[in-house]
Amino acid sequence: MRRGFRTLILTTAAFAAAVAFWILSTLPPSAVRLSPSLPATRVTGAYHVHSVRSDGTGTPDEIARAAQSAGLQFVILTDHGDGTRPPDPPAYIDGVLVLDGVEISTDQGHYVAIDIYRAVLENNASEQSAQMIAMRNATDNAHELIDDLTLVYNKTRQATITREMIEIASGAEALGG
The fraction of the chain above a pLDDT of 70, given in percent, is 91
Residue 76 bridge partners (DSSP): 47, 99
Tell me: pLDDT of 104 over 70: yes
Per-residue pLDDT band for 144 (boundaries 50, 70, 90) equals very high
The answer to whether residue 3 scores a pLDDT higher than 80 is no
The whole-model pTM stands at 0.47
pLDDT of 159 above 70? yes
* Mean pLDDT in residue range 72-85: 83
Q: What is the mean pLDDT of residues 122-140?
A: 88
- Distance from C-alpha of 98 to C-alpha of 64, rounded to nearest angstrom: 7
- Exposed, middle or buried: residue 94 (CB in 10 Å: 0-12, 13-18, 19+)? middle
Q: What is the pLDDT of residue 117?
A: 67
pLDDT of residue 138: 92
The pLDDT > 90 percentage for the chain reads: 33
Q: What is the pLDDT of residue 83?
A: 67
Q: Is the confidence at residue 139, as pLDDT, over 90?
A: yes
| b/e 103-138 (16+ beta carbons within 10 angstroms → b) | bbeeeeeeeebbebbeebeeeeeeeeeeeeeeeeee
CB 103 within 8 A of CB 48: yes
Read off the pLDDT of residues 12-50 as tens digits, 9 standing for 90 and up.
888 888 888 888 888 887 777 766 776 677 888 998 899
Tell me the per-residue pLDDT of 105-129, one tens digit each, with 9 for 90 and over. 788 888 877 776 676 667 778 888 8
How many angstroms separate the CA atoms of 97 and 18, rounded?
54
Using pLDDT thresholds of 50, 70 and 90, give the confidence band for residue 135: very high
